[in-house]
A and B are shown apart, each in its own frame.
Chain A
Amino acid sequence: MKGYDLLELAVRNLRQSKLRNGLTTVGISVGVASLVAMLSLGVGLQQLATKRLAGSGMFDTVFVASKVDARGWNRDEDRKEQDLDKAPALDEAARDKMAHLQYVTEVEPEIRVMAEILYGGQTHFGFVTGLPMSARENEAFDSLQGKFFSRSDADEVILLNDFAKELEPKDPKSLIGKEVTLRYGEHQPLAADSENSGRLGVTGEHADNSNAGDDYGFSVVRKMQPLKVVGIIDEEPYGGMRTVSRGRIFLPVDLTERLNMAQFSDMRSSLRGNGKTFMTLTVRVKDPAKVAQVQDAIKQMGFRTFSVLDATKSLRRFFTVLDLFLGIFGSLALAVATLAIINTLVMAVLERRREIGVMKAIGASDADVKRLFFAEAGAMGFFGGVLGIALGFAIGKAINLGTGIYLHNHQLPAEPVWILPPWLIGAAIVFSIVVSLLAGLYPASRAARLDPVQTLKYE
C-alpha cells in the first residue's frame, strides 16, 4: 500500500471513533505539554541564572596580582617558587601585554581612593571608585537613573543613592545634571633636586627607571576637579577580587588615571622602588568559555590569577541534573498517555476484527495491516504533539505571568523563567510520534496476526 493511501485510511479510521481517539490524543497532548513545560522551565531557569551571573561580572573576569604582592595565596605553589622576588611586576607594560591577549576586551586597574565632594557649601566624604565602560553591563546599573558615562575619561560622576541623599536629602534625583566639585589627592613625583632628602633606604640601582621620582617618594597634592553628575544607582557594583568596592562615588576609570589620583598602593610602590605598579588588574574576557584560556596565558606571564570558573562548572552540572529531573517528571504523564494509546488501539483491533479480515481477504498483506495501525498511532502522536506544544506554551505563559506578578509584588523586575526554544518544539513532536509508534507495536502486530478465516466466519 502506498504512503498516502495508508495515511488516508489511518485518518479516516481515527475519525470513525472521534471521541475515543480524540480523548487519547488529548491524553498524549497533556503528556507532551507537561514534558515541554518542564523542560522549558529548565531552559528558562538556566538562562536566567546564566544571565544573572554574567550580570554580576564574575564569570567573564580574571583577576591578576603580582606574585610578590599576593604572597601566601597559594602556599604550595609559593614553596616551589625559588625566586619569588624576581617575579615580574604588575606594571603598565604587563597591563599592555595582557590587553593584547586574544579574547581580552579590557584590562583595568582597581582604583579606590578617599576623596571629598563639595556641594552646596558642604563637604561630603566618600570613597571614589574607577569604573570601566564595561561596568554598564553590570546588574547594579539595571536600576540606573540618569545616564552612564559618555566617555571613559569624561568629567562625569555617578553617585550611590545613599550618598546622593546626603547631598540632597529631599530630592536626590535633582542632582542629575548638576555640577559638584571633587577634592582629591594628586600623586606628584618629587622634584629631582629633593632626591637626597627623601631617601628611604632605596639604593640607586633603580635610578634608570623611567619615572625616577617614583623610586624615591612622591608628594600628595590637594586638587579640585569639577564634575557633572550624570547618574544615580541604588547598589554598589561589584568590585575587584569579589570585594564590594564600598565606593559611593564612581568615576570613569580613565578619568581617575588622568587625574593621577594618589592611591594606597603608591606608598608601597614607593617603598619598594620599582616604579608605578598595580595592586590588581581586572581582565575582562569576551566569553566566559574563554576564561580558562586567558587565565593560562596570564599565568604563563608569571602572575597570579583568580577566577570563578569552577563555580560555572558546578552550575552547569546542577542544571544538567535539574533538566534530567524535570524531564523525568514530564515524561510520567507521557508514559500514562502511552498506555492510553495501547488501550485505544487494542480496542480498535478488537472492534475492527472483521474489517481487518475483509481487508486481508481482498488483498491486504500482514504488513499492510500492521502499517495501517502504525499510521494510526503515529497520526495520534503527531496531533497530540502539536496540541501538546500549544498547551505547553499556554502553561509556560501562565508560569511567566505568575512569576511576573510575584516578582512585581516583591518590587523586583519581571523576568521570564520559562523559555521555549525552537529545537524543543521539533523534538517534542518527533518524540511524541516515536513514543506513539512504540505504543502501536503491540496492537499493530496483534492486528496483523489475525486469522482472516476466523474473523470472516458468518455467525
Chain B
Amino acid sequence: MGSSVIRAVDGISVSVEPGEFVALLGQSGSGKSTLLNLMAGLDRPTSGAVLVEGRDLAKLSSEELARYRRNDVGMVFQAFHLIPSMTIAENIELPMRFAEVDRAEREQRVREALERVGLGHRREHRPSELSGGEQQRVSIARALVNRPSLLLADEPTGNLDSRTGEDILGLIRDLSVAMQMTVVMVTHERALAERFAQRLIFLADGKVTSSTTVNLSGQRAPSLGGSTPAAPNMSGSEEARA
C-alpha cells in the first residue's frame, strides 16, 4: 500500500460549554473518535490547538498530558477496558494509584463510586463475572473516581443491548448533573444521542457537517453551579498516515 496522508480530522472548529452534554455523530471513519482522543490528550493535532480552560493540550509535554488525563478527564470505552485480573474495586482504585491519592481515602472513594453506579455489592468480583451493562458501570465508576470535570465516552453503548444502553446513558447524564461534569460522547446511534445529549455534532470525512441543539423538553436543567467544569474548545486538524 502506498503511503498517503489521511486527514482524520480536518479544519474542525468545535467548542463545548462547561456542563454541556455533547454527542459526536458520524459514520465510522468520520473522525469522531480522533476528535475525542484529541480532547483526551491521548493524541496530538498535527496543527491547530486544543484548548481546555485556556490550556493548549497541543503544547503540553507527555508528562503534563498524563497529569491532565488523570486529574481532569474520565474516559469510558466501548469495550469497557477493565483489567481482567483485577477485582472491580481494584479496577476502580487504579486511577487513584497514578494520582497518588492517599490509601485511606481511596477505600472511601471506591465505595462512593460503586454506590453511585449501583454496584456496591459487586466489589470483589472480577470483570468477567459481570454482565456488559455492569462492566460499563464499573468503567464509569473508574472514570469518576478522580473527580474529573470532563467525561469522554467512546461509543459507551456500542457493546450493549438497547435497554442497557439507555440505562447507561441515563446514568452518565445523571452523574454529569450531580458532579457538574461536561460530557462528550461519541456514538453512531442517533436516537439515543437525541434522547440524552443537549447538542449533536455531525461529522463526515473529518469535517463538521452540522450542529443541532436538542430540546430536552424540561428533562434536564443545565446546572452551572459553583465550580466551572472544563470544556474543550478546539480547532485544527489531525493527520494520520495509513
Binding site for B on A (CB under 8 A): 1-2, 5, 9, 12, 16, 354-355, 357-368, 452-453, 456, 458
Contacts and interface: CB of A to CB of B under 8 A. Distances in A.
B83 A361 contact: no
Contacts of A1: 97-98, 100
Given A362-B142, A363-B70, A365-B66, A458 B97 contact: no
B95 interface: yes
Nearest to A358: B81
B99 A363 contact: yes
B63 interface: yes
Contacts of B95: 362-363
A453 B98 contact: no
A362 B69 contact: yes
Task: Return the 9 tightest CB-CB contacts between A and B, nearest first.
Answer: A363-B70, A365-B66, A363-B98, A5-B97, A362-B95, A358-B81, A364-B98, A363-B69, A452-B42
A354 B99 CA distance: 20
B77 A362 contact: no
A420 to B, nearest CB: 39
B77 to A, nearest CB: 7
A417 B77 CA distance: 64
A361 B42 contact: yes
B85 interface: yes
Interface residues of B, number: 30
Interface in B27-67: 37, 40, 42-43, 62-63, 66-67
B71 A363 contact: yes
Interface string B74-86: 0101110101011
Contacts of B94: 359, 362
B99 A367 contact: no
B66 A368 contact: yes
Interface of B: 37, 40, 42-43, 62-63, 66-67, 69-71, 75, 77-79, 81, 83, 85-86, 94-95, 97-100, 142-143, 146, 155, 158
A362 B98 contact: yes
Given A2-B97, A453-B37, 20 more contacts: A1-B98, A2-B100, A5-B97, A9-B97, A12-B85, A354-B81, A360-B42, A360-B69, A361-B77, A361-B81, A362-B95, A363-B146, A364-B70, A365-B62, A365-B67, A452-B42, A453-B42, A458-B77, A458-B78, A458-B155
A366 B83 contact: no
Given A362-B70, A366-B66, A456 B97 contact: no
B98 A368 contact: yes
Contacts, number: 70
A366 B65 CA distance: 10
A355 B77 CA distance: 13
Contact of A453 (B43, B70, B85): B43
Contacts of B146: 363
B97 A361 contact: no
A359 B85 CA distance: 14
Contacts of A5: 97, 100
A456 B76 CA distance: 11
Nearest to B63: A365
Contacts of A354: 81
Contacts of B71: 363
B40 A361 contact: yes
A367 B142 CA distance: 21
23 contacts: A1-B98, A2-B100, A354-B81, A355-B83, A360-B42, A360-B69, A362-B69, A362-B95, A362-B98, A362-B142, A362-B143, A363-B66, A363-B67, A363-B71, A363-B95, A363-B146, A364-B66, A365-B63, A365-B98, A453-B43, A456-B77, A458-B78, A458-B155
Nearest to A354: B81
Contacts of B78: 458
A452 B62 CA distance: 12
A362 B40 CA distance: 10
Nearest to B95: A362
A212 to B, nearest CB: 97
A400 B59 CA distance: 66
Nearest to A15: B85
B32 to A, nearest CB: 13
Nearest to A364: B98
Contacts of B75: 361-362
Contacts of B97: 1-2, 5, 9
A94 B142 CA distance: 91
B98 A366 contact: no
Given A1-B98, A363-B98, A366-B62, A358 B42 contact: no
